[in-house]
Structure 1
């Protein structure tokens, strides 16, 4: 099939660094693995920084012009898509193109990682949320990554709209390195951008957690950079000297090598969508310690490859981390299980199989809808 691939949040091939861009590229690779021709929808970034009406109207006007241009091109003979696929449709980046174009062309409409927010339906984001919901209602298949997203999508599970679980997956160009033995204290590592909001909150939580266990034998490497670096560094400043290594922003392959020099991956992950970095750390063979927050649990096997503390319970997080610091055999067993879990179960090939099932179902759903409408119109 020819698939129109739309990413309202970020243009996945714009050179930016983010987890959603990586997942979009991985989805494209999985679809191409199935033999489909994937064509990115060329548009401006659809992310809305504020709920101001002028911002919303501007995005809607741009989307209308693009819809009309695309449909005019298809009518004039441009290659038409056989299916529309939108990744990451939510209230700050609603899909202003897909539902209308899919309806005009009578083609299936599919989403991945779409999400609904009951709270946003009644605040200043209500107009944007209504557009998201119209798209969810029009969909033929919605792939969800986490149980939290599934819960929000349940109202749209109906005979003509299916929900399919697509667990977060990750691709590697080469086999990830294995952990290396080292002398000295246990080595902890975390990798995250240093921006305001949930990332900064997780960094500050991690600093408080480590302040609880200064007597344990550990050293932490921090990979990442960003606007909030000064504030984040200050949060770790009172820890004993020599405990923190600030590595800055480094390329992915170098980050994988850095993971292999460590023993435990620690990242609170407060309200994390899911976090591809958890999959990367496990693929290298590191156990994970995190909060059971957001979609983190969708990326690990709790108790087997990761220890998850209740969200916000910093004492429980510190206890879990201490337990691994004191038990080398346990963390090595968990690391072995983690590597096997990611490299066998969370692969592009596994994802492609789920996508194939969903696309087939979407085509059948769309055909059934068309059959139901055409007799009534004749």
Structure 2
């Protein structure tokens, strides 16, 4: 089966890593591995395009180019990953209709609040048109199911749980020891790991929350180190905050390639990231796959990727007090930590395994194509 693939938010070759980009690349790779030909048909990034006349012109140019590419490719189905109010799919609905092939969405997002704001209203309606035009919508977030159900019948919506490829993230004791040695962290020093892009948004808010929480933790204990993996435009502000709140306790490791992150997960005792505004959070899955217990806020979709009291602890958002006390309690209870760590890889392998999820996606796409014939 030939699949025309499109990612309106971030094309597959986008230089800045993110959870969305990783998911899109994984879908493309696994569909090809399953024996299909999944080809990215357009690289047009539709994010906020309607705000300028230039954006509209680029959208029209992209529409013509994508139609020519699809016409030459002769796909059996069109699959778009992640259409939402900021980056609606304005190519797939038109081209799939012209070519007479099924139009399918993976992880569309829909919320009526965006039609009330003049800045987001056009994006909302363009995204709404895309969702309504779809033959089927797949979502990996339970929180999106109810919203999608407002404009699509249940038979046209399928939930596939979020996940990762377990073989990409496995605990490596020797690699973890090497990371500690590299940064001068002794084997018996409690090590808290966090990882994020330093953007001026909820990622930055989460790191600020974490540093404030760790400052509170400093009232209980003085023997911990926080290792921060990531970079971005807010790095200088974060370094100043770390120096003020946690002098000598925070090490900035810079951006770590994703394929090297298992070494850092293997070095730590806890993975802690508040996850403010996180719809899911790939880093939580990666940490658990490497047998690293998680501490995060009980917010958004994090409960879908962290099993409470089984692979980690989710705490209320109270300014950082609950997070600080939970970290302290876990570090004082090595048996509890060991139990949480042991459960993580099993949870990922058995319940959050993308290898199985994307095989099911491939089967469903074949079924949709057959029905449409």
**Is TM > 0.5 for Structure 1 vs Structure 2?**
yes
**Does 1:150 find its partner at 2:145?**
yes
Aligned-pair RMSD on alpha carbons?
2.2
When residues 229 and 84 of structure 1 are mapped into structure 2, their CA distance, relative to the original with a 3 A threshold, is: same
Q: Relative to 1, partners in 2 of residues 1:46 and 1:73: Cα closer, same or farther, differing over 3 Å?
A: closer
Matched, 1:104 2:98: yes
Alignment correspondent of 1:373: none
* Alignment match, 2:211: 207
Determine whether 1:318 maps to 2:324. Answer: yes
2:124 maps to 129
The CA distance in 1 between the partners of 2:23 and 2:256, in whole Å, is: 19
Partner secondary structure for residue 345 of structure 2 = helix
- 1:74–1:281 Cα change, 3 Å: closer
Work out whether 1:23 is the aligned partner of 2:40. no
* Match among 334, 347, 352 for residue 341 of structure 1: 347
- The aligned runs of 1:10-49 (5 Å cut-off) are 10-48=10-48
- Size of the aligned set, in residue pairs, is 360
Match of 2:87 in 1: 93
Higher mean alpha-carbon deviation, 348-357 vs 130-139, is at 348-357
- 2:3 is matched with 3
Instruction: Provide the rounded CA distance (Å) in 2 between the counterparts of 1:83 and 1:149.
Output: 23
Aligned partner (choices 162, 172, 176) of residue 156 of structure 2: 162
8 A contact 1:291–1:312 mirrored in 2: no
Counterpart of 1:260 in 2: which secondary structure? helix
User: Matches of 1:34 and 1:73 in 2, distance apart?
Assistant: 23
2:357 is the alignment partner of 1:359 = no
Q: How does 1:135-284 map to 2 (within 5 A)?
A: 135-158=130-153, 162-171=156-165, 176-179=170-173, 183-214=187-218, 215-216=220-221, 217-284=223-290
Deviations 1:26-84 (A, max 9, x none): 111221232110110233322228xxx542x4334333333334445666xx2311111
Describe the superposition over 1:255-275 as per-residue Cα deviations: whole angstroms up to 9, x where unpaired: 211211111000001011312
Question: 3-state SS of the aligned residue for 2:42?
Answer: coil
Following TM superposition, by how much is the alpha carbon of 1:3 offset from its aligned partner in structure 2, in angstroms?
Answer: 0.4
| Structure 2 counterpart of 1:301 | 307
Structure 1 residues 267-307: Cα deviation after superposition (integer angstroms, max 9, x where no partner): 00101131211111111100100012222222221221121
Partner residue, 2:294: 288
Correspondence for 1:63 among 59, 62, 66: 59
Q: State TM-score, norm by structure 2.
A: 0.89
Give the conservation status (yes or no) of the 8 Å contact 1:30–1:351.
no
* CA positional deviation for 1:234: 2.0
TM-score when normalising by structure 1: 0.88
Residue by residue over 1:162-218, the C-alpha shift from the partner in whole angstroms, topping out at 9 and shown as x without a partner, is: 211122221366562335576322111001111101011001100111111112242
2-structure distance, mates of 1:357, 1:316: 44
- 103-112 or 355-364, larger mean C-alpha shift: 355-364
Q: Following the alignment from structure 2 to structure 1, what is the Cα–Cα distance between the partners of residues 240 and 166?
A: 35
- Asked whether the equivalents of residues 78 and 104 of structure 2 are also in contact (C-alpha less than 8 Å), the reply is yes
Aligned with 2:88: secondary structure?
coil
Choose 11-20 or 191-200, whichever is displaced more. 11-20
SS of 2:191's equivalent in the other structure is strand
**Hey, what's the Cα distance between the residues in 1 that align with 2:355 and 2:109?**
25
**8 Å contact kept, 2:41–2:70:** no
CA distance in 2, matches of 1:12, 1:253: 17
Gap change, CA 1:235 and 1:365, over 3 Å in 2: farther
Q: Which runs of 5+ in 2 are unaligned?
A: 178-185
Question: Aligned with 1:237: secondary structure?
Answer: helix
Cα 1:239–1:136 shift into 2, 3 Å: same
- Could you list the per-position Cα deviations for residues 134-158 of structure 1 after superposition, in whole angstroms to 9, with x for gaps in the alignment? 1111112211111222232121331
